[in-house]
Structure 1
Amino acid sequence: MRIAIADDETDVVNFLKAIVEEQGHVAAAFNDGAALSQALVRETFDLVIMDWTMPKKDGLATLHWMQESLQERPPVIMMTNRTAKKDISDALNAGADDYITKPEDRTVIAARINALLRRNAGAGAFDTKVVYGKYEFNRIDQTVTVEGDTVSLTAKEFELADLFFRNRDRTLSRNYIMETIWRTTAALATRTLDMHISRVRAKLDLRPENGFRIFTVFGYGYRLETIEVR
Structure 2
Amino acid sequence: MHIALLEDEQEQAQHIQALLTENGHACEAFGTGQAFLSSVLHRSYDLLILDWQIPDMTGIDVLQNVRAQLNWRIPVVFLTQRDSEQDIVRALDAGADDYLSKPARQAELLARINALARRTGPESERESLQFGPFTINTQQRTITLHGKTLTLTDKDFDLTLFLFQNQGRLLTREMLLERVWGLTRDINTRTVDTHMSRLRRRLGLNPDNGFRIKTIYQRGYRLEALDPASGEPTVQPEQS
Q: TM class by shorter-chain length?
A: 0.7 to 0.9
Residue 162 of structure 1 deviates from its aligned partner by: 0.4
Contact 2:70 2:170 (C-alpha < 8 Å) held by counterparts = no
Deviates more, 1:173-182 or 1:79-88: 79-88
Aligned 1:1-230 pairs, distance under 5 A = 3-8=3-8, 9=10, 10-15=13-18, 18=21, 22=24, 27-42=27-42, 45=45, 47-64=47-64, 66=66, 70=69, 72=71, 74-101=74-101, 102-105=104-107, 107-115=110-118, 117-118=120-121, 126-230=125-229
1:191-214 CA-partner distances (Å, limit 9, x unpaired) = 221122122222112122221111
Gap runs ≥5 in structure 2: 230-240
Deviates more, 1:58-67 or 1:160-169: 58-67
Letter aligned with residue 48 of structure 1: L
What's the RMSD between the two structures over aligned residues? 3.0
Whole-angstrom CA distance in 2 between matches of 1:66 and 1:210 = 30
TM normalised by structure 1 equals 0.79
TM normalised by structure 2 equals 0.76
Change in CA separation of 1:63 and 1:170 when aligned onto 2, cut-off 3 Å: closer
Contact 1:215 1:224 (C-alpha < 8 Å) held by counterparts = yes
Whole-angstrom CA distance in 2 between matches of 1:182 and 1:64 = 30
Count of residues in Structure 1 that have an aligned counterpart in Structure 2? 222
Residue 75 of structure 1 deviates from its aligned partner by: 4.2
Change in CA separation of 1:17 and 1:154 when aligned onto 2, cut-off 3 Å: farther
Name the SS of the counterpart of 1:188 in structure 2: coil
Contact 1:182 1:189 (C-alpha < 8 Å) held by counterparts = no
Residue 64 of structure 1 deviates from its aligned partner by: 5.0
Gap runs ≥5 in structure 1: none
Deviates more, 1:94-103 or 1:72-81: 72-81
Whole-angstrom CA distance in 1 between matches of 2:75 and 2:183 = 24
Name the SS of the counterpart of 1:131 in structure 2: strand
Contact 2:17 2:28 (C-alpha < 8 Å) held by counterparts = no
